[in-house]
Amino acid sequence: AEFARMGLFAKHPVDLGSRCTVFMNSQVKQAQKDGATTEDISAGLSVSVVKNAIYKVIRVPDAKALGRNIVVQGGTFLNDAVLRVFEKEMGVEVTRPDIAGLMGAYGAAVYAMKKSTGKSAIIGEKELENFRHEVRVTTCGMCSNHCRLTVNMFGGNRRFIGGNRCEKPVTKRSGKSELDMYAYKLKLLRSYRPKAGPRGKIGIPMGLNMYELLPFWHTFFTRLGFEVVVSPLSTRELYIRGQSTIP
């Protein structure tokens, strides 16, 4: 709060740009080396937050496109410096409710009331006294991913599983092959067979972005007269053979 108040009285806000946090951190360090005051850095951060939101997130061509009657909400606008910068950028006085930081929660509550069936799903006092909860960590063995699962177990044989990358631990069965997009994609890529060409052979390793670009490069080099050969599917043996070639 004190850092934000300091920004309100800055005389020369530092231009920190409106890029992501990683670049912003570097800009702040450089500003400190250049002798910028804490007040100017605080104000500069507020300017960056506002400009990033308007021109990078909302992406309006001009601030006036947001209108002249504006109500702001969210915890960020509890920062007086951010509020003032927003007003200066918009050229109008905006309305900030006293509960700006809680308006999202109020909205969720109002929405829940409208969608309510009149019957609460919250357990009663008696059920709460008998409430039981256990957590067990295990490793799924239904495929090669070996996901580390967190199993939350409740009374009445109810359980909820987290950490899974597919539906197998929940359904206890494998997905249908016709619905497996990864299997379909692999089958499609393997359909690109080498075709003898007069200009020699070109090898393409099946890794990284080649899984996305193989159709393009295979067609490109084939039409140029080359035979395109791709590496086989990865195996443990192939990994061991290639390990010694890494410096």
Domain count, the chain: 3
What's the pLDDT at 135? 93
Which pLDDT tens digit goes with each residue over 126-144?
A: 888 888 889 999 998 888 8
Backbone torsion region of residue 143, taken as left when φ is above 0, otherwise alpha when ψ lies between -120 and 50, otherwise beta: beta
Backbone angles phi, psi at 103, to 5 degrees: -65, -30
What's the pLDDT at 72? 92
For residue 6, is it within any domain? Answer: yes
Contact between 31 and 16 (Cβ < 8 Å): yes
Residues 151 and 236 in one domain: no
**What is d(CA 29, CA 47) in angstroms, rounded to the nearest whole number?**
17
For residue 76, is it within any domain? Answer: yes
Which pLDDT tens digit goes with each residue over 73-132?
A: 998 899 999 999 999 999 999 999 988 999 999 999 999 889 888 887 778 888 888 888
Its domain, for residue 56, covers 2-103
Looking at residue 97, which CATH number applies to its domain?
Answer: 3.30.420.40
Residues 89 and 132 in one domain: no
Residues 158 and 195 in one domain: no
**What is d(CA 190, CA 233) in angstroms, rounded to the nearest whole number?**
10
For residue 16, is it within any domain? Answer: yes
Residues 15 and 97 in one domain: yes
Mean pLDDT over all residues of the chain?
86
Residues 161 and 199 in one domain: no
Residues 95 and 156 in one domain: no
Q: Say which residue the tokens 């950490």 belong to.
A: 163
**What is d(CA 53, CA 60) in angstroms, rounded to the nearest whole number?**
10
Task: Give SS3 for 151.
Answer: strand
Contact between 42 and 7 (Cβ < 8 Å): yes
Distance of alpha carbon 87 from its chain centroid, rounded? Answer: 30
Among 71, 103, 135, the domain-final residue is 103
For residue 114, is it within any domain? Answer: no
